[in-house]
Structure 1
Amino acid sequence: MTRRLISSGSPFEQDIGYSRAVVQGEWVFVSGTTGFDYATMAIADDVAAQARQALHNIQAALAEAGASLADVVRVRYLLPRAEDFPATWPVLQEFLGGVRPAATMMQVGLADPRMKIEIEVTALRQR
């Protein structure tokens, strides 16, 4: 089984030494993804806007892997402030409400104080 690495072009991937996503067989593992716009390396102040951008970044990685959000079976939401999570729910519902993957939310410290949410997904490509 061939392993394929996917990069978004984010400098974090090169600096830290990881891939945006790894494809192994029909599985796609997308690394924790934040709300940075990788083209400009800008990030919004609003947690919901960051969630939206993170999901767009995840969609791009999944598309490159031949998958989509419909293939997501597991999602983890990481937030420095648990009380910010409800503000993201409308965005999460918009992107994943029809998929309803298994989910976990954890309150954690993130690498950059501008980051208000990080999202990690696992997908199983449907063939």
Structure 2
Amino acid sequence: MSLERYSSGTRFEEIAAYSRAVADDLYIHVSGTVGGDPQTGAMPDAVEDQLANIFATIERALAHFGAGFADVTRSRVFIVSADVLMPVAAALKARFGDCPPTNTTLIVGIPAPGAKVEIEVTARRPG
């Protein structure tokens, strides 16, 4: 079984020695992704803006391996409080409404300053 790694180039990937995504012959595993601006690293205050950045980063990682959101089989969602649950749920429905994966959502502390949500996914590798 071969492994292929993808980096989105964030400083955290370098600091903590991890890949944004790793694909084997069957699956693509995308690391937990927070909503910092991909160019500046600044964390938007609004959870909706964080979600837009998260989904854009995940989409680029999946596309690198020829996949998309329809190929996602599992999502794990970490939120800092129940106050953001409904906006996060609405964003998940917008992305996965036609192809819902399995999901786990937990209220946790997220170590990225200002982050209100973190999402990781696993997708079936096309082909």
Task: Give structure 2 stretches of 5+ with no counterpart.
Answer: none
Give 3-state SS (helix, strand or coil) of 1:29's partner. strand
Q: Deviations over 1:22-68 (max 9, x none)?
A: 00112000000011122221221011221121011100000012211
Residue type of the alignment partner of 2:2: T
Q: Hey, what's the Cα distance between the residues in 2 that align with 1:126 and 1:61?
A: 14
CA contact (8 A) 1:75 1:119 kept: yes
Aligned to 1:8: 8
Q: Please identify, of 37-46 and 61-70, the stretch whose mean Cα deviation from structure 2 is larger.
A: 37-46
1:23-62 equivalences under 5 Å are 23-62=23-62
Q: Does 1:85 align with 2:80?
A: no
**Could you tell me which amino acid in structure 2 is paired with residue 46 of structure 1?**
A
What code does the residue aligned with 1:94 have?
A: A
Q: Distance in 1 between matches of 2:81 and 2:90?
A: 17
Structure 1 residue 83, shift from structure 2 partner: 2.5
Query: What's the TM-score once normalised by structure 2's chain length?
Result: 0.94
Contact 1:35–1:50, Cα closer than 8 Å, also in 2: yes
Structure 1's consecutive aligned runs of 4 or more residues displaced over 6 angstroms after TM superposition are none
Structure 1: distance between partners of 2:112 and 2:41: 13
Alignment partner, residue 98 of structure 2? 98
- Stretches of structure 1 lacking an aligned partner (at least 5 in a row): none
Q: Which residue of 2 aligns with 1:18?
A: 18
State the SS of the aligned residue for 1:48.
Answer: helix
